[in-house]
């Protein structure tokens, strides 16, 4: 249900963006669906990677513990989860089988240090860029083989899910940064 809401919101953004550009009376280049998706992945990537870089290495193990926060992921686990899902969605878009670490959305146990987590994160966005480059008007609404569920069946839905999921966890990353007295780069 939530994925269908994100797909609707994304579609409305695409349509409303076109209407706003039409009022400028300037000819604009026609974008492909792949280019439109890549734009949103790049925006998300810039925010997420800069937030991940802003947290000091010694705070990567930070997780709030009071009240409703008991048992939540650490900052590093948030990033690894986000990245594993990016890899997973990219694999589905490309009709590949995700690894067990991607399928569980936990990421590899061997990824521990800030440098390793950052590399894993950046690699996940590179995988998404490659995956959406393979989406076109002819295949965007065709079911992807092995997709995780009825709300994530098409390549378009999978790409939108990756952006929405990454933004959800970006919001959590921002909270963790602020709890540690760090202003997120996008808010500076």
Whole-model pTM over 0.85: no
**Does residue 109 fall inside a structural domain?**
yes
**Does residue 7 fall inside a structural domain?**
no
**Does residue 123 fall inside a structural domain?**
yes
Which is higher by pLDDT, 37 or 153? 37
Q: Compute the 3-state secondary structure of the chain and give helix, strand, coil in percent, each to the nearest 5.
A: 65, 0, 35
Q: What is the mean pLDDT of the chain?
A: 87
Residue 8 burial (CB < 10 Å; 0-12/13-18/19+)?
exposed
Task: Spell out the long-range contacts of 132-135 with Cβ–Cβ below 8 A and sequence spacing 24 or more.
Answer: 132/34, 132/37, 132/38, 132/41, 132/93, 132/159, 133/34, 133/38, 134/34, 134/93, 134/94, 135/33, 135/34, 135/37, 135/93, 135/159
Residue range of the domain that includes 173:
31-187
Mean pLDDT of 101-111: 92
**pLDDT-derived band of residue 12, with 50, 70 and 90 as boundaries?**
very low
The gap from C-alpha 27 to its chain's centroid, in whole angstroms, comes to 31
pLDDT in the model for residue 7: 52
Mean pLDDT of 73-93: 96
**Does residue 12 fall inside a structural domain?**
no
Domain count within the chain: 1
pLDDT in the model for residue 29: 78
**Does residue 8 fall inside a structural domain?**
no
pLDDT at 2 over 60: no
User: What CATH code is carried by the domain that includes residue 162?
Assistant: 1.20.120.450
Mean pLDDT of 57-86: 93
**Does residue 23 fall inside a structural domain?**
no
**Does residue 142 fall inside a structural domain?**
yes
**Does residue 55 fall inside a structural domain?**
yes
157's tokens: 């839905």
């Amino acid at each position: 249900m939530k994925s269908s809401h994100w797909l609707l919101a994304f579609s409305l953004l695409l349509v409303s963006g076109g209407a706003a550009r039409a009022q400028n009376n300037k000819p604009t280049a026609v974008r492909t669906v792949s280019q439109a998706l890549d734009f949103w992945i790049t925006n998300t990537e810039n925010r997420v990677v800069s937030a991940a870089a802003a947290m000091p290495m010694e705070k990567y193990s930070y997780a709030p513990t009071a009240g409703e926060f008991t048992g939540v992921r650490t900052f590093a686990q948030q990033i690894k989860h986000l990245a594993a899902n990016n890899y997973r969605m990219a694999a589905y878009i490309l009709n590949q089988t995700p690894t067990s670490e991607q399928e569980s959305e936990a990421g590899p146990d061997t990824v521990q240090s800030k440098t390793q987590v950052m590399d894993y994160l950046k690699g996940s966005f590179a995988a998404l860029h490659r995956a959406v480059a393979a989406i076109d008007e002819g295949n965007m609404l065709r079911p992807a083989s092995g997709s995780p569920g009825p709300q994530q069946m098409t390549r378009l839905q999978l790409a939108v899910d990756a952006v929405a999921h990454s933004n959800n966890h970006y919001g959590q990353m921002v909270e963790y940064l602020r709890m540690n007295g760090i202003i997120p780069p996008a808010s500076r």
